[in-house]
Structure 1
Amino acid sequence: MTPAGLLPSDDVVHFYLPSFAGGGAERFFIRIANQIAVGGRPVTFIVNHATGPLRDLLSNSVKLHILGVSKATLAVPRLVTYMKHHKPKVLISALTRTNLAALLSARIAKVGTRVIVCERNQYSALLHELDPLRKRVMTWFVRRLYPTAHAVIGNTAEVTQDIAGVARLAPEQTGIIYNAAPDIAQIDAARNSDTTHPWLDDDQPLAVAIGRLMPQKDYATMLGAVARTKQPLRLLVLGEGPLQEELEDMARDLNIDDRVSFLGFQMDRFAYLVRANIFLLSSRTEGFPNALIEAVAAGVPAVSTDCAGGGAREIMGREFPDRIVPVADTEAMAKAIDAVLAARNSASADQDRQRIADIAARYQIGEIANAFLAKALI
């Protein structure tokens, strides 16, 4: 339920994202938009284009507005027109380029929209993927536009501190709102679903990884760790991306191609998660990893790199510090995997899974949706 004393209940909350691509940011903000709409508040979801596998997750209670452009840099004129016509009180955007388009549009439209921009990864780390000119241009715009936001939100303390330093923001301009754990009903439904892959039904140890096949995720470290494990661990990778062929070649070179399967994007990822013995995350940088909190909610033991952004450590570091390993350290990841697998049939295994699942209680969707509404009022 929407807490009393926030925005008038008939004020529309607007969200703005690039598309319905299968990333964690898109999935998270669709869930938040749906949750706010469940509370009876009108919600509009704005996208540059309506492509992507997550389109059907948006509730029918949420109004969809499609700008009809291919990318954020082309969206500004149409977003300005939309703002001038609808005069939104609150616009919540995510991902840096989309955030910049939202802030620039609000500055041009001059209708008093409170723009809340959300960073999902450590900005400084992601800059390493850009050429020097793009780095300078992007940072120039961030430093000039982010201070005009009503609030700049990170999904971990480290992400928030990083963007605050880059954009030279005062502490009162920033905030931290974590990603939400999945609904328990999704986990329960997955446990009762039919399995669709032969590896899900045998006794050989099985790992699952979820995420795009791109440099940020550093699957090379994960594959190297799987090759070093003492047990013949199998790995299912749910995700697509430009590095698939390269990673398949790497698996062959490591002689583990018969133990690694790249399944592409899977909507029913929970059906794989709940049957896994271990979840793996090898990213160089993450904010608050959706896939990791999903694994945690399912009670699945996880091993993760201590990726820039700090989300993995915030989720698991208190209870399971031995399962957080240095970035790009294949040997350390392999040793942590072996330790988890060695305990999987022990007397304490069920208790361990419950300890893992209890972490998810800290990240409930209703409280997190209310945090966004509260930030809109402050």
Structure 2
Amino acid sequence: MKSDKINITFALPNLLAGGAERVMSYVAENIDPTKFNATLLIIGHEKDASYDIKNINVVYLEKTRVSQGVLSLFGYIRKSKPDILVSAIEHLNAVTAVLSMFFPKTIFIAREVNVLSVLAMHDNPGKPSLMTRLGNKRFNFFNKVICQSQDMLDDFHKNFDIKKEKLIVINNPITNNFKVKYSRTKNNPIRFITVARLDVQKGHHRIIEALSQISFDFHYTLIGNGSLKEDIFSQIEKYNLSDKISHIPFTKEVGKYLDESDLYLQGSYTEGFPNAIIESCMVGTPVLAIDAPGGINEIIYPDINGNIVSNVNEFSEALERINSDYNFNPVDVSESVSKRYSSEIILPKYEDLFIDVYQKRFK
């Protein structure tokens, strides 16, 4: 006898530290267990997991790359027969799009993490990636595509020719119980922070360049690791900033470092919907960002929880102003995001989507 619950599998390439991994695993863990039987399917290795998943079934295919796990993923779907499979991140979504043709009784949903056309142009100027060239085809195989921001939805509709009825915006939920700081007095010297992997997309070199132009003392905490670590620290040495910057490759105490900081610095060229700046605001630490597609304009309310500038020079000028006149109220900063992105608000949006697509297919 078939259960009244919807059997849903959330698939990820791995459980390494990252925004997509954290959000997807959080949704899988926390959707209503009276309505859903949730499984978290990981293509990668259990030994690499950065997150401790509780209260749901977790399946590891123990493959190093998504391409190595295609047959195992096919076998899992054939055996488990999930009602819904939700996949995330570009390369895995390409695979599940193809597999959807073999399993017409399963609803396939993709969740993307970037404004893909902007990312492709930045990573390969003038030469779109294979995924980008095939993008309009692969996403049309899905029953629904979850976009993290309105920028992402507009990009899919315009540049990938995806029908709007296939697209839905669901912002990322706040996944931790952050405590709000109550001190409105900034540190002396002022303390900055960025939490992001060290790659081209995140624009660390723009932040370092701006910091090299300011006239006051500061301390900058850089949390994250990645392929551009050597280049970034060469730039730091070039500008003689080494004694002002601390690097933490990975920590489970991000909230503590955000709490101790006065301003979050965001230099990305594109985002999906940046978890780190939501979390920074949640503890009461405002954000200074360079304008970019991917939800930044949705999250930041000017002079309430931060500010947005257009380029590096404006960034350094804004840092000068903020240092001389720091006037952010941590409670207001926190409430600006908690009233929009709390799990109590976001999780029901996921549940409503899953129930809606299921009922339209099977009822």
TM-score by length of 2: 0.89
Give the corresponding residue for 2:219: 234
Q: Is 1:160–2:137 an aligned residue pair?
A: no
Indicate yes or no: 2:239 matched with 1:246: no
2: CA distance, partners of 1:217 / 1:66? 29
Alignment CA distance shift 1:93-1:319 (3 Å): farther
Identity %: 21
Distance apart, 1:173 and its partner CA: 0.7
SS at match of 2:260: coil
Q: Per the alignment, do residues 30 and 149 of structure 1 end up closer, same or farther by CA in structure 2, a change over 3 Å counting?
A: same
The equivalent residue for 1:64 is 58
* Cα distance, 1:52–1:22 mapped onto 2, change above 3 Å: farther
Label 1:33 to 1:133 Cα distance change in 2 as closer, same or farther (>3 A): same
> What SS does structure 1 have at the residue aligned with 2:210?
helix
Shift of 1:218: 1.1
Q: Is the 8 A contact 2:136 2:161 kept in 1?
A: yes
Q: Equivalent residue for 1:324? A: 308
Q: Is contact 2:45-2:64 (8 Å) kept?
A: no
Matched, 1:315 2:308: no
CA 1:134/1:357 → structure 2, altered by over 3 Å: closer, same or farther? same
Q: Which residue of 2 aligns with 1:114?
A: 107
Q: 2:134 aligned with 1:141, yes or no?
A: yes
Aligned equivalents of 2:20 and 2:168: distance in 1? Answer: 17
Specify whether residues 330 and 131 from structure 1 end up closer, same or farther in structure 2 by C-alpha distance, changes over 3 A only. closer
1:275 alignment partner, one of 239, 245, 260: 260
What is residue 19 of structure 2 aligned with on the other side? 24
1:52 shift after superposition: 7.2
User: Does the 8 A contact of 1:205 with 1:232 survive in 2?
Assistant: yes
Q: Which position in structure 2 is the counterpart of 1:208?
A: 193
CA contact (8 A) 2:286 2:306 kept: no
2:179 paired residue number: 187
* Cα displacement (A) at 1:158: 0.8
Contact 1:116 1:149 in 2 (8 A): yes
1:37 touches 1:62 (CA, 8 Å); kept in 2? no
Write the letter of the residue equivalent to 1:79.
L
Corresponding residue number in structure 2 for 1:337? 319
How many Å separate the matches in 2 of 1:81 and 1:132?
Answer: 38
Instruction: Give the corresponding residue for 1:261.
Output: 246
For 2:165 and 2:266, how far apart are their aligned partners in 1?
33
- Write the mapping of 1:338-377 to structure 2, written as runs, cut at 5 A: 338-344=320-326, 349=328, 352-360=329-337, 361-376=339-354, 377=356
**What secondary structure does 1:258 align onto?**
helix
CA deviations on 1:115-171 (whole Å, 9 max, x unpaired) are 110111100012135558983531343222211211111101111111223331111
Cα contact 1:151–1:375 (8 A) shared by 2: no
> Which among 46, 56, 59 is matched to residue 41 of structure 2?
46
Q: Which runs of 5+ in 2 are unaligned?
A: 358-363
What displacement does 1:297 show? 0.5
In structure 2, C-alpha distance between the alignment counterparts of 1:251 and 1:39, rounded to whole Å: 52
Q: Would you say the 8 A contact 2:9–2:41 is kept in 1?
A: yes
Compared CA separation, residues 207 and 227, structure 1 to 2 (3 A): same
**Is 2:305–2:332's contact at 8 Å kept on the other side of the alignment?**
no
Is 1:73 the counterpart of 2:51 in the alignment? no
Q: 2:82 aligns with which of 84, 88, 98?
A: 88
Unaligned segments of structure 1, at least 5 residues: 1-7, 192-200
Which residue matches 1:102? Answer: 96
Instruction: State how far apart, in whole Å, the 2-side matches of 1:129 and 1:335 are.
Output: 25
Q: Structure 2: how far apart are the matches of 1:222 and 1:169?
A: 35
Q: What CA distance in whole angstroms lies between the structure 2 residues aligned with 1:229 and 1:132?
A: 31
RMSD over aligned Cα atoms = 2.5
Task: Determine helix, strand or coil for the equivalent of 1:82.
Answer: helix
Q: Give the distance between the partners of 2:285 and 2:126, measured in 1 at CA.
A: 43
Alignment partner of 1:178 is 2:171: yes
Q: How many residues end up aligned between the 2 structures?
A: 350
- After superposition, the C-alpha distances for 1:299-327 in whole angstroms (9 at most, x for unaligned) are 10210111122x1111014665971011x
